[in-house]
Amino acid sequence: QKEVEQNSGPLSVPEGAIASLNCTYSDRVSQSFFWYRQYSGKSPELIMSIYSNGDKEDGRFTAQLNKASQYVSLLIRDSQPSDSATYLCAVRGVTNAGKSTFGDGTTLTVKP
């Protein structure tokens, strides 16, 4: 079992719809959770971080964390073609804060 698992996709949604990206992790003592966006051929860019259970909203993006279920998700409202990218989930632990463990990413395509 991978430490951080994501559906590889591709996930395709029409413009204006809600895109839902999911991530599960195996280490129960994980502390910090991050969503990165990576355009093809580019480096990852942080879009959301979340540290406590519940929802965190930032513009069109909402991150949701459920530590009991070891589950973190990212919702993108009013999806735009420019949101088309690979979304990487990353997890950092308590005991080794220097190591982020990444999932393999979910590729999202937003169709005009």
Residues that bind other proteins (CB under 8 A): 4, 31-32, 34, 42-46, 49, 51, 88, 90, 92-94, 96-105
Shortest Å, Cβ 106 to other proteins: 10
Nearer to other proteins, 17 or 27 (CB): 27
**In angstroms, rounded to a whole number, what is the distance separating the alpha carbons of residues 101 and 92?**
6
Nearer to other proteins, 3 or 70 (CB): 3
**In angstroms, rounded to a whole number, what is the distance separating the alpha carbons of residues 45 and 88?**
9
